[in-house]
Structure 1
Amino acid sequence: MTASPAARRLLVIAGASIASLVLAACGGGTVDTGAADTSESSGALSHVHGLGVDPADGRVYVATHSGLYTVAKGEKPKLVGDRKDDFMGFTITGENTFIASGHGAPGSDRPGNVGLIETKDTGRTWTSRSLSGEADFHSLDSAKGTVYGYEGGRIRVSSDLKSWDNRATLEALDLAVNPSGDRLLATTAEGAATSTDGGRTFGKGAEPVQAFVSWPAEKSLFGIGTSGKLSSSADSGKTWKELTTVPGGQPQALTAVNADHILVATMAGVYESRDGGKSFTELAPLAS
């Protein structure tokens, strides 16, 4: 799959590194085994697509181009289970329970597009829930038991992980839903675009341009720009307050667990803030 002109504009804004990352992930379900080897030999991760914290034990999970890993400060990343699939869309929906999408690893019996998969044992085993062989969600989020995904240039919504309602079509890089589930934000080349009808329609994108967004609480929306500048919004993205620049340059993923606990992956590493984004510490480096 090639990126459309609007998507390419956003990727150009984001820079060549993110462009190559996303365009590589869009291509036919192959996994860069060289990146996986580099990750293992150096003790570093590469190509991060998603981040999350399991509410059961507070462990940090990193979804990458070559598997799902746990990370902790001062420790080497650890592969969860034995799957080295390309985990694209990824989000944690409950204790020990994650959903994901992406591409099966070369040599596995999994399809190029794995559709929507779910684990209830923190990633050790996965079950196909729907759209196997068809869908590749690049962004996933959930609120009040409903899952919102961005796949094939459209918003898709499901309340049972089996049947999907196709909603708006747009060119976006990431999406976030507010905790009440009545407002959706998508990052576009023109800025953050808002939907107030569950993703059926979106308004025009409004600056500043954000690459990734995360919405842990009604008045705590976070966005990270293409140069790594982290901002917060207390009014659903109408206005933004710049907080800091996360180390490591261009962002690859953002997840805010709550108003204080924020995870960011940049080109250099996975970073964590415990003070609402004022300061960050490195949890794990990323291989160049």
Structure 2
Amino acid sequence: MKMRRTALTASAAALVLTLAACTDSGSSGAKDTEGGAPAISHIHGVGIGPSDGKLYVATHEGIHTPDAKGDPRLVGDREDDFMGFTITGDGRFLASGHPAPGRDAPANLGLIESRDSGVSWKDRSLVGEVDFHSLEYAHDTIYGYDSTNGVLRVSEDGTRWEKRSELTALDLAVSPDDPGTVLATTESGLTRSTDGGRTFGPGAKPALAFISWPVKDALYGIDPSGGLSRSADGGKSWKRAGTVPGGAPQALTALDARRLIAATQDGVYESEDGGATFDKRLDVTSGGGH
């Protein structure tokens, strides 16, 4: 029993460090590798474009996608620190974060949107007021964790927002079947809301850093050491699914019950067998935190 408590404490401590790293809003800009490709670090989100099937990676230094050689290439010309990031089913990119050094813009970008796969962006709302560290789009609704004010916000149109529960979280997931069920990863464990995020229950094991819930019976979670688990009952019970290589997870997106994209301190990995095996899609130069 003593060993189990120690292990849980270590995981919780790692999650606290990850949460603390989220407050670092500095951005040094992408640096070229010896081969001329930009070196990316500090990944905040990953996704697959529904129209082109490309991998998109939201980083401290802009949105990147692999080129023909598999090297990261900047999408568009904005090297902003993209924090919260998600791709909707109809292909819209939603993001938040901070402007690149030297760019004339408010320190917090609020909600921004791209309708051309990240080439150009338009301000939607809360510019200068909010930095969303997690964004989820489900049931035609945007769920965003406002890290600036420590509150969950919800919007149906991306313009008008309802403030819901106050909390300190790293990641969010919304039930694909029930808009009222919202999960959040916190330093006290996985917390659950059954009223759309207006209230959350106490934290519970396991201590997870990132979660993703694409279909009813496939909720995935990755712990601070890279251990991947799957729940078939909405987080009430979990089974170990595998281990994401690289350690120190930075992002997780499950596209369906078997296909996953995960970012760790040394790369972006993809699994097509529910996390049993992973292939590296992109190299990451530094595991410098979320």
Do the structures match in fold with TM over 0.5?
yes
Q: Which residue of 2 aligns with 1:5?
A: none
On the 8 A contact 2:182/2:192 being kept in 1, the answer is yes
Q: Which residue of 1 aligns with 2:176?
A: 179
- Give the drift of 1:191: 1.2
Q: Which residue of 2 aligns with 1:65?
A: 60
Q: Which residue of 2 aligns with 1:6?
A: none
Q: Distance in 2 between matches of 1:143 and 1:234?
A: 19
- Which amino acid in structure 2 is aligned with residue 22 of structure 1? C
- Residue 50 of structure 2 is aligned to residue 55 of structure 1: yes
- Residue 28 of structure 2 is aligned to residue 32 of structure 1: yes
Q: Which residue of 2 aligns with 1:280?
A: 278
Q: Which residue of 2 aligns with 1:23?
A: 23
- Give the drift of 1:228: 0.2
- Give the drift of 1:32: 2.0
Q: CA RMSD in A?
A: 2.0
On the 8 A contact 2:95/2:111 being kept in 1, the answer is yes
Q: Which residue of 2 aligns with 1:3?
A: none
Q: Distance in 1 between matches of 2:184 and 2:67?
A: 30
On the 8 A contact 2:112/2:121 being kept in 1, the answer is yes
On the 8 A contact 1:89/1:138 being kept in 2, the answer is yes
Q: Distance in 1 between matches of 2:224 and 2:69?
A: 28
Q: 1:156 aligns with which of 145, 153, 156?
A: 153
Q: Distance in 2 between matches of 1:43 and 1:196?
A: 43
- Residue 101 of structure 2 is aligned to residue 106 of structure 1: yes
- Give the drift of 1:39: 6.3
SS at match of 1:14: helix
Q: Which residue of 1 aligns with 2:230?
A: 232
Q: Distance in 2 between matches of 1:189 and 1:39?
A: 36
Q: Deviations over 1:250-282 (max 9, x none)?
A: 100000011111000000100000111111000
Any residues of structure 2 matched to 1:1-288 within 5 Å, and which? 12-14=13-15, 18=18, 21-25=21-25, 30-33=26-29, 36-37=30-31, 43-71=38-66, 74-151=69-146, 152-180=149-177, 181-288=179-286
On the 8 A contact 2:190/2:208 being kept in 1, the answer is yes
CA gap of 1:39–1:239, structure 2 versus 1, over 3 A, is farther
- Give the drift of 1:42: 5.9
On the 8 A contact 2:134/2:145 being kept in 1, the answer is yes
- Give the drift of 1:107: 1.7
On the 8 A contact 2:83/2:97 being kept in 1, the answer is yes
- How does the TM-score come out when normalised to structure 1? 0.90
- How does the TM-score come out when normalised to structure 2? 0.89
- Which amino acid in structure 1 is aligned with residue 81 of structure 2? D
What stretches of structure 1 of length at least 5 have no aligned partner? 1-8
CA gap of 1:132–1:43, structure 2 versus 1, over 3 A, is closer
On the 8 A contact 2:151/2:166 being kept in 1, the answer is yes
Q: Distance in 1 between matches of 2:254 and 2:56?
A: 13
Q: Distance in 1 between matches of 2:162 and 2:129?
A: 15
SS at match of 2:132: coil
Q: Deviations over 1:64-121 (max 9, x none)?
A: 0010011368510111000000000000013331100000112222211010000111
SS at match of 1:111: coil
- Which amino acid in structure 1 is aligned with residue 91 of structure 2? N
CA gap of 1:236–1:39, structure 2 versus 1, over 3 A, is farther
Percent identity over paired residues? 52
On the 8 A contact 1:168/1:202 being kept in 2, the answer is yes
- Which amino acid in structure 2 is aligned with residue 138 of structure 1? H
On the 8 A contact 2:16/2:187 being kept in 1, the answer is no
Q: Distance in 1 between matches of 2:126 and 2:119?
A: 21
SS at match of 1:139: strand
CA gap of 1:202–1:19, structure 2 versus 1, over 3 A, is closer
Q: Distance in 1 between matches of 2:55 and 2:19?
A: 26
- Which amino acid in structure 2 is aligned with residue 256 of structure 1? A
Q: Distance in 2 between matches of 1:189 and 1:160?
A: 31
